[in-house]
Amino acid sequence: MAHSYHHALSSAKRYGGKPEDYLPIHTWFDASKAHWADAQHRALRHHTMGIFEAEQVFGATITNSSGDKVPVRFIGEQHCLEDFGFIPTVSHWLRHIPLEEWMRKGAAKFSREFDVKGAENAVNQQAGSSSSTEKSN
């Protein structure tokens, strides 16, 4: 759907109440559009993790203007279903992002520092330096 308000209209039709009851949730899902103004903005919240994050932000349910409790998860799932026809996972998005050199620079060093032999060497070196420190004190 082109706009959060259209999602909110759909939610009101499905769950009752007014579109304004649902607009904050749908606006939250689409907020990344302010920073990346094409469909790729959806990679940040339009997936299973985003749906569960919405529950953290808005609570497990909202009470609409008709007095009905509506699960926030249902609203998030509806948003994704209307945009894609299915509910993607984070991996649906991440596996299509090419890994570039700048993304792995820190990770490569971190991984090398904590490989098994590197960890053993670091422990042995640390043990050796602490015993020599103890002797000199």
Q: Each residue of 81-133: pLDDT tens digit?
A: 999 999 999 999 999 999 888 888 776 565 555 565 555 665 566 666 554 44
Contact by Cβ (8 Å): 51, 14: no
Shared domain check, 37 and 55: yes
Find the domain containing 64 and state its range.
4-94
Question: Residues 79, 107: one domain?
Answer: no
The larger pLDDT score, comparing residue 80 to residue 118, is at 80
What is the model's pTM? 0.75
- Structure confidence at residue 65 (pLDDT): 98
Cα–Cα distance, 41 to 37 (Å, whole number): 7
- Tell me the residue type at 89: T
Based on the fold, state whether residues 85 and 125 are members of the same structural domain.
no
Distance CA(91)–CA(64), nearest Å, equals: 33
